[in-house]
Structure 1
Amino acid sequence: MIPAEAIKDRYSPLYFLATLGAGGLMVTFFMYLMFWVPHLNQPVPIFEDILAAFMAGGMALQAAIVVAAIGIAVFAYLLVRTLIWNLRAFSAYRTTEAYTQLRQSNAETQLMAVPLALAMGVNGAFIVGLVFVPGLWTVVEYLFPLALIAFAAIGYYALRIMADFYGRVMTDGGLDCSKNNSFAQVLPAFAMAMVGVGLTAPAAMSTVPLTVGVSFILSSFFIVSAVLLAVVNLVLGMRAMMEHGANAESAPTLLVIVPLVTVISIALLRQQHGLHTQFGVHGGGGENFSLLTTMLMIQLAITGLGLTVLNRFGYLGEYVTGAARSVGSYALVCPGVALSVMTQFWLNKGLVAVGLVAKFSVAYLLISAVAIALQVAMIWLVFKLNAKHLRSEDAVAPVPAE
């Protein structure tokens, strides 16, 4: 990997999306364990459940567990490695004139990639703990308040970034709407949602009403903020694109709604679970099926639009498999990961829950294969982009300010 200090003049905060992609792929492997390993005593599988399933399961389940464990370990390593590299590079970048210019441009919101990656890092650490640390569940109620503090601190950092940006553009102006012809400004909504979904984990898993209540309240703020930011910036971005055409290099941002929807959907499911277990609010499989189906259809519609534009620009042939380089290419990883995860939730928490599909039936395996195919494609994309952007110093191209 390129020495972080060597590229400070050519760095972009969007390189934190490399960390986000690694974390997202950890989640796709955790889905194997989440939905295929029995875990009757708690809402998520833990080390003891995984070990028991491996000892008692057939060859197919054992193979899935081994693949999941290896995948989580590999991408946890990649998450940590790219996060440390990014933090070092970002520290050097903050001393440059390029950073000063970014803080006065539309691209200032790229800084939200930092809390986005940090929140994914905390989520990744929790997954590693669940899968590899024996006895973690015996102390988990002590960990939930620490998790709330960690996510709240990251959320505060994100809010500071947004306060600087909106404080500047809403008092002094300066947002160049002609260069807002993408969904790049939706990135802050994604970051807010990632903080929000992290804050919902205690709501879904704690048995302490106060912890669940605090989790629900804090997470609701960030989820609502994410929705408001997304709606406003979708309208502004769509208007600019209809007037000026989409920005070819920023075209992958057209798909940012896809991971945003997955994250919000998981957050809402977690909140509903907490309300059910601690406050007597009873939902059912039908409600989850309705929610997840609606959200998945939104994702498919957005994916169709995004792929149409990407295809018209020839984006993949130019920036992924071709010679051109753009750090924005990392934004392609999140939608594929998000669709893989959403497909798993839709299948297991939706179709299976309402009895439309039997678990491990042919239909179940076919739909699971779709999720796995998306996962494999994103694994290829991550390694392709890392080889192109991070393995040699001359691979890092200058990043436009807008």
Structure 2
Amino acid sequence: MLVRDIGSKFTPLYFLASLGAGGLAVSFFIYLMFLLPHPNTAMVTFGDVWPILTGPSLFNALLTGLAISSILFFAYWHFRLLFWNIREFGLFKQTDAYQKLLVSNSEIALMTIPLTLAMTVNVSFVLGALLIPNLWSIVEWLFPLAISAFFVIGVFAMKILVRYFSRALVGGNVDFATNNSLAPMVSIFALSMIAVGFAAPASMSKITTVIAISIALSLFFMTIAVLLAIVKLVNGFQSMMINGISESASPSLWIMIPILTLLGISWIRLSHGLNHGFDSSLHYSGLFVGSMVVVSAQILFGLLGYAVMRHLGYFKQYIHGEKGDAGTFALVCPGVAFFVFGMFFINVGLTHNDIITHRSWVYFLLMAPFVYVQLKTVQVFWKLKNKLLTRRSNLLEQPATPHS
């Protein structure tokens, strides 16, 4: 049972728990996306999985059913944790702690809200495609709805971002000594999530107007994300080099992994959109080079973050030990993102260029490390959920009058 009424102990970073669950749901959909044939649609739908579930091959049916069950399981936890966060955030806004948040460096943590809501749109689209027969027949009507949803979320995110930067630029007093991490890059994470959401209709729609609007809005948020990422990386690493990184903020070193995944997938989607919408040449050799660059950068940040957290004893204390806070859920997103883009790299970068054969032994061998990271992430998510958000946890004080 989840804790309730935590009041001033709440932080917007708890939205990362819902985000992580949604990301895990999407990650299991990636198996279906790349391993099952779907020649008539841009993504796997009910019409593609139902014949396999009811087909003669028990092995294929079991694997497909396992993937779908995992999607449904983590989608359930995404929505349950989302509603929990919305309720607790509403109570948190009535406390003095919320007012203090609005005038501090931590205000940028509010960007986790549009970040999570953007994931909700993605999860809903996946569930609709898998569970509703013939939904793809009206998909061109759904794309404008998806664009509208991401537009509302994008406006919400920009409102938070502009308010944060305008206050910081006018008043100054940004404390770089205590801002010695990459945690403020959650804003770039949110902008990248919105950008990849806008890019989806561009890669799948057949209507030029929808493609053009999708590309334009995606590029808008991608541009802002890249510009801010440069600034934040320079400031963040400079502060860390001078002051060192705090123990609790050390997972922020991994935040570039999901950002790179989202920007990389956005670029792939926009390339497809420009190809079938505006007759732009699509060179898979370029996708191989680009995806290899992204994976290389992810490995760099992954190794750096792992070395720092291991040196600080973060895993021992915050995952397996008695310490822990909402920011610990930041460990889930990099694991999800590394798996997801690893599958894009294998399938778009390597398979489409005939470097490896789809579903060959080399193909599955290359998948192995990414699958390991995904399964390890599932384990970490479940451990953190039970440790930080259940009533039996000793890390949060239980309310004086418990609710069932």
Q: Scaled by the length of structure 2, what TM-score is found?
A: 0.96
TM-aligned CA deviation for residue 33 of structure 1: 0.7
Q: Is 1:68 aligned to residue 77 of structure 2?
A: no
Aligned to 1:18: 17
Separation of aligned partners in 1, 2:322 and 2:212: 51
Task: Give a deviation string over 1:197-249, Cα, whole Å, max 9, x none.
Answer: 11111101111100000000011111111111111111111000000000110
Amino acid aligned to 1:78: W
Task: Give a deviation string over 1:137-186, Cα, whole Å, max 9, x none.
Answer: 11111111111110000010000001110010000112101111100111
Aligned to 1:256: 255
Separation of aligned partners in 2, 1:387 and 1:363: 37
Aligned to 2:266: 267
Aligned to 1:329: 328
Give yes or no for contact 2:10–2:92 (8 Å, CA) kept in 1. Answer: yes
TM-aligned CA deviation for residue 395 of structure 1: 3.7
Aligned to 1:303: 302
Aligned to 2:123: 124
In the TM superposition, what are the counterparts of 1:41-120 in structure 2 within 5 Å?
A: 41-56=40-55, 58-120=57-119
Give yes or no for contact 1:20–1:120 (8 Å, CA) kept in 2. Answer: yes
Q: Is 1:285 aligned to residue 284 of structure 2?
A: yes
Give yes or no for contact 1:2–1:393 (8 Å, CA) kept in 2. Answer: no
Amino acid aligned to 1:172: G
Amino acid aligned to 1:224: T
Distance 1:221 1:72, change over 3 A: same
Aligned to 1:377: 376
Separation of aligned partners in 1, 2:94 and 2:300: 42
TM-aligned CA deviation for residue 101 of structure 1: 1.1
Give yes or no for contact 2:15–2:82 (8 Å, CA) kept in 1. Answer: yes
Structure 1 unmatched runs, 5+? none
Give 3-state SS (helix, strand or coil) of 1:177's partner. coil
Larger mean CA deviation between 221-230 and 186-195 belongs to 221-230
Separation of aligned partners in 2, 1:394 and 1:124: 28
TM-aligned CA deviation for residue 397 of structure 1: 4.2
Aligned to 2:2: 2
Separation of aligned partners in 2, 1:79 and 1:58: 32
Give the aligned length. 397
In the TM superposition, what are the counterparts of 1:74-223 in structure 2 within 5 Å?
A: 74-223=73-222
Q: Would you identify which runs of 4 or more consecutive aligned residues in structure 1 move more than 3 Å? A: 1-4, 53-60, 393-398
Give yes or no for contact 1:54–1:62 (8 Å, CA) kept in 2. Answer: yes
Separation of aligned partners in 2, 1:352 and 1:129: 28
Separation of aligned partners in 2, 1:92 and 1:47: 40
Give 3-state SS (helix, strand or coil) of 1:181's partner. coil
Separation of aligned partners in 2, 1:394 and 1:215: 44
Separation of aligned partners in 2, 1:78 and 1:136: 24
Separation of aligned partners in 1, 2:63 and 2:172: 54
Aligned to 1:365: 364
Give 3-state SS (helix, strand or coil) of 1:30's partner. helix
Separation of aligned partners in 2, 1:279 and 1:177: 46
In the TM superposition, what are the counterparts of 1:310-325 in structure 2 within 5 Å?
A: 310-325=309-324
Give yes or no for contact 2:25–2:71 (8 Å, CA) kept in 1. Answer: yes
Structure 2 unmatched runs, 5+? 398-404
Give yes or no for contact 1:333–1:381 (8 Å, CA) kept in 2. Answer: yes
Amino acid aligned to 1:317: K
TM-aligned CA deviation for residue 53 of structure 1: 3.6
Task: Give a deviation string over 1:340-388, Cα, whole Å, max 9, x none.
Answer: 1111111111111111111111111112222221111111111100000
Give yes or no for contact 2:3–2:390 (8 Å, CA) kept in 1. Answer: no
Separation of aligned partners in 2, 1:361 and 1:57: 22
Instruction: Give aligned-pair identity as a percent.
Output: 37
Separation of aligned partners in 2, 1:103 and 1:367: 46
Give 3-state SS (helix, strand or coil) of 2:37's partner. coil
Distance 1:133 1:291, change over 3 A: same
TM-aligned CA deviation for residue 42 of structure 1: 1.8
Give yes or no for contact 2:387–2:393 (8 Å, CA) kept in 1. Answer: no
Amino acid aligned to 2:324: R
Give 3-state SS (helix, strand or coil) of 1:179's partner. coil
TM-aligned CA deviation for residue 257 of structure 1: 0.1
